[in-house]
A and B are shown apart, each in its own frame.
Chain A
Amino acid sequence: MNMTFLEAIREAMRIELKKNENVYLLGEDVGAFGGCFGVTAGLFAEFGDKRVRDTPISEGAIVGCAIGSAATGLRPVAELMFNDFATVAMDMIVNQAAKMRYMVGGKINLPLVIRMPLGAGVQAAAQHSQSLEAWFTHVPGLKVVYPTTPEDALGLLMTSIEDDNPVIFLEHKLLYEIKAEIPENIMPIPLGVAKVRREGTDVTVIATGKMVYEALDAAEKLSKEGISVEVIDPRTLYPLDKKAIFESVAKTNKVLVATEENKRGGYGGEISAMIAEECFDSLDAPIVRIGALNTPIPFSQCLESFVIPNSQDIVNGVKTLF
């Protein structure tokens, strides 16, 4: 079947809602309105207001409600309209969801998913465009999933909803309309398994989210100049498939890491540090890190596209390795 990234996310929720009556959705305008980006459209009509629940605009209570209900037998899938709004719910995510299991000696499971769109590119300015994945990967107790294709969005969201731990599920808003063929009867995709998006021999580019597409574009350009680029998409940021990354580095001996976050303190830095610590002997050159400029995301299109990295930045970065 042919579907968009957005439809794939919806389909994963539909499958899980059908499979388990304890799965329910909650969030701002996720009901008849269909969600701010339309991801939940139609689910309210199909499953009703008990399973697809509009909430007041109270991000803390949305996540808190997910936690309390997950601790008592349900499997909530909460939508936060933008990852920027997660900051309003940070106590619930960081101090409660992530830590409850540990603090009580493993006796309470929290099977919950918090979905949130992220990323720039729609001139939504500084409070609706950030990429805050590093805020979540930093916190033990959370799993962080960041799919880039419709097939992965479907399979990884199914897995996330079936997981017994809190999962942050990141959806880049510019990927929503990407369309692809998805095999029938798709199975859940395990977390922690990276995907090689393009095989290559000269340099490894590790990219997340929309940067995967920028990296593929860069790889195409570079192939014309005789540079063979391997593009690795981790798909889940935690657990991270270090093995796949390290194997590729051992093969190419050169690494560029591309993420859309502000470069300072980003998860790209963590991946780079991991490679530097554990694969130093494989490296023929310093690791190159590509990220957004360390500014808030500006509104005006010319400014926004200047701040966010693109395929040309990756091309330029790769060339410094040779």
Chain B
Amino acid sequence: MTAALANPVMRRLLRVPPAYYVFAALLMVLWIARPNMLNLNIMGIFVRQIVPLGILVLGQLLVMRVRSIDLSGGGVILLINYTISSGVFPGASMAFFIVLALAIGLAVGFFNGLMVGVRRVSAVIVTLAVGIVLVGVVQYLSSGKPPGDVPGMFADIYNTKLGPAPTPVIFWVVVSAALSLFLSRTVFGRYVTSVGENVQAAHFSGVPVARTVVLAHTLAGLFAGIAALVQTASIAVGSVRVGLDLPILAVAATILGGVVFGRGEGGVWGPFFGVLSFALLFVVMTTFGVDEPGKLIAQGLIILLAAIFYGIRTRSS
């Protein structure tokens, strides 16, 4: 195996994030098994469902590039969904809800950032605990019962189309492109790369490591807030279970897209295709009649195989 890994062609192929291979493979499977599903309308609906995950992944890839992780996204999404759908703010305008959601996201992200970057607490534990605290708060406020409806304007915007593509999908592509540009063109983007490469070297080169980590987490919180808005619009009702498995899926899609702790070769588009792979995977599994447990197992295996794939590469290089 070592000889095969040393082969230059093989090395070149290994550098491509696994997301692209998985995406192509799943497309082939679908093309062979259900060719009639591969049209723009049906695919548009499936991709539209995955947009909240897609936006959450943007934050996840940011924190994973600075060697951290954010598992609190599920709690943030649940809390925002609850505040919008429970009618705590009767008759509030759409703008108010958007500002509120972004503020909640920013606040949670900033707290995570302070804990991880300044206080140097274990990122997994902190973000997991923050997520649990938020979920518990929502369950307490709602006593486990689903809250009311989401104001109609959310669904109205969600259901529009720009040309052939649904608006949420366009929005996702635009936000991803913006983040991609932001990371490649700004000083902060350089800081993220250097902290990921080597924390100590970055510190001694004058990179404000703690500040970079705090900012990355704050931005991740912001993305979680945006994801919560899209998710809330997509289901149009309040729920006490919405978004709980999203953080894990976000980690999986990010690793699949070639961004592992500290390494960001996949850029923004690798994880983007990681998310698309998950969209296709759920379509394929549903068409083949795989049920809930099967999906759990598949999720776990994908995270594991993608991580092993990167583990092997670290060793061979």
| A and B found bound together | no
